[in-house]
Structure 1
Amino acid sequence: MPLPQSLEEAISQAQVSTKAAIADGRGRLQVELLFPELKVMPVAQQFLPAFEDLGNKLRVYFPDAGAAALARRDWGEKPYAIRGISDMNAAIQPDEEMLLFVEPSSVEVQAVEQLCQEALDRSVVLLNPRMEDIAIIGIGYAGRQLRERFLNTFESCYYIRPLDGAAVFRAYPSPWQVWVEKGDTYELLAETPSKPVGEALDRLLAGENAESSSLEGTAPRRRGLLASMQQFLRALSQ
């Protein structure tokens, strides 16, 4: 799957990747579109139609009752429930098959974890989660325990993060990819089985190919690929 050239294309790719992962039995998934200043409410509104055929078997959670009420007002009547995570009527219903959490933060992590435990074998999707805020969940043992017990049970089925002249990208079932600017084009620098972060990402961007990279014959993408993203980011900041 190529890098998207617009937010709408990214959301469409995220829908396809999420459906494919669910069809393959992946039960806990993350969708992350990490554009600065991105408003998640319209992203969720565009993402959800791909799953509306579930009807009342789908449940959508927002971090609080106010955000849920705003979505119900702006989106109009929907066949699925829209609730705040801590609402009194937030309990999962027996016939529900998929739960979508919209931008849950580390403040709600315990409530989200509890709902996920109650979800059993239902599909759970986190859309742009913000649950690894070190300032809140802490560092050291407490933070590590949280990641090992809960956050690490989720797989990124769609991820895009623009960098300065580069991008980190993953669309299930493809591996993680790092794209970089090369003159008038953007080229696929590396593919890795796990998310490239920290020093591993720095090494790749410095030109050190990962051992798992297998990129011979990969066609470069035209320069407008990420340039359109940068235009989008500038528009968001105005």
Structure 2
Amino acid sequence: MATTAPLLSPQHARPAHLPRRLPPPLHLASHLDVPAKRMRLRRAPPPCTAKFGKFDASDAPAEAKEAEAAADGGVAQPVEEDDSCLPSDLEGAIRQSGKASSDFVNSGGLRAIAELLIPQLEFLNEEGAQAELWALSKIFLDTLVQETGQKVTAIFPDAGAAALLKYQWKDAQFKCASLSDRKPVDPEDEVAVMIIPDHQMLEAVERIASQLSDDPIRPLVMWNPRLVSGDVGVGFNVRNLRRNFLSTFTTVYSMRPLPTGAVFRCFPGQWKVFYDDPNRPNRYLLARELTSRPDATDIERIFGGVDEQSEEAPSLMNNVMGVFSSVSRFMRIISK
């Protein structure tokens, strides 16, 4: 399948010594309400805000250039910094999510979630954008097949998409099925992957997950699930979903940009909260590592601690809390 050059072509990958960049900050309430204007994947983000965008070697920080100049034989030595674990572009993030999912499956894990909460993947329900979304999902699936060496079944939201992709991806090393299939997973399949399952197909999602829990027991990975929707409100069904179903999954990969930082997890590593490096644009410093996903209260405390050490504390705290105040109540309710 053809893909857009600015997003997937290898010439956009940057050398290892260049600074890491994240995608544009994500409005955290975007998955709770319907945005007035959605971003198309094929449009490159504006240069001034694109932290996942292409940039020149001249943008490299001074310390990176010094490390390169001091390296033996003129070969640049990678410098391990706080944000070295972050991906350098969107394709790298997707491959990283596939590697984390594979490591989890290879370690004996059974239920995993890999999520990239970034604008390029959040708003791809527009007409004409799904083809690009499926192309990105193939990067994840190819990585999973390569790293696990097992028979993988990719389960797409509808039968039309599954049939089209099965026709277009004749050489794919995985099988294509849909949530509406009577038997999307065959006995010989070893790993099942649900691609962006949404709340409208929740019954089918739970049914397939239950089938995979029977003999033979097989791993289930959900890539960018959308099982909680703001359109249905916060009620008993949502709380029950989190308590009885989603709580059985391990989030093995998560990328959530913030206005002044990011929340990141890549299995088997811990959850990490980053904040913007005030001295180096588009670079990040590690604020805290946690054993579980940080909620709004955790973020408030972490950035509050960062503020005490920063001369720009008021603006930093106001920016972060302006985002989290709109969703903190929602998160507390559905976590009960």
Which bracket does the TM-score occupy, shorter chain normalised?
A: 0.7 to 0.9
TM-score in terms of structure 1 length: 0.79
1:92–1:141 CA distance, 2 compared to 1 (3 A): same
Higher relative contact order (CA 8 A, sep 6+): 1
Name structure 2 gaps, 5 residues minimum. Answer: 1-83, 125-132, 308-336
> Are 1:55 and 1:79, in contact at CA under 8 Å, matched by a contact in 2?
no
The answer on 1:70 being equivalent to 2:164 is: yes
Query: Aligned runs of 1:70-219 on 2, under 5 Å?
Result: 70-88=164-182, 90-120=183-213, 121-136=217-232, 138-183=233-278, 184=280, 185-207=283-305
* Partner Cα distance (1:152, 1:18) in 2: 17
Q: Which residue of 1 aligns with 2:80?
A: none
Cα distance between partner residues in 1 of 2:290 and 2:243? 22
SS in 1 for 2:305: coil
Tell me the residue number matched to 2:22: none
Q: Note if contact 2:155-2:184 (Cα within 8 Å) is conserved in structure 1.
A: no
Aligned-partner Cα distance in 2 for 1:79–1:49:
7
Paired residues for 1:1-16 under 5 Å = 2-16=85-99
Q: Which contiguous aligned blocks of 4+ residues in structure 1 show a shift greater than 3 angstroms?
A: 51-56
8 Å CA contact retained: 2:104, 2:252: yes
Which protein shows a greater Rg?
Answer: 2
Report the more deviating stretch, 31-40 or 151-160. Answer: 31-40
Q: How many residues align?
A: 207
Distance in 1, matches of 2:164 and 2:234, equals 34
Does structure 2 retain, via aligned residues, the 8 Å contact 1:177–1:191?
A: yes
TM-fit CA distance, 1:198 = 1.6
Report if the CA contact (8 A) 1:104-1:128 is conserved.
Answer: yes
Query: With structure 2 as the length reference, what TM-score do the two structures score?
Result: 0.57
More strand by share: 1
Residue 27 of structure 1 contacts residue 124 of structure 1 at CA under 8 Å; is this kept in 2? yes
Structure 2 distance, partners of 1:31, 1:104, is 12
Q: Deviations over 1:74-113 (max 9, x none)?
A: 333434321110124x342111110000000011111011
Say if 2:195 and 2:224, in contact at 8 Å, map to a contact too.
yes
RMSD of Structure 2 on Structure 1 (CA):
2.1
Give distance in 2, aligned partners of 1:56 and 1:68: 20
The answer (yes or no) to whether the contact 1:61–1:83 under 8 Å persists in 2 is: yes
SS at structure 1 position matched to 2:120: coil
Q: Percent identity?
A: 33
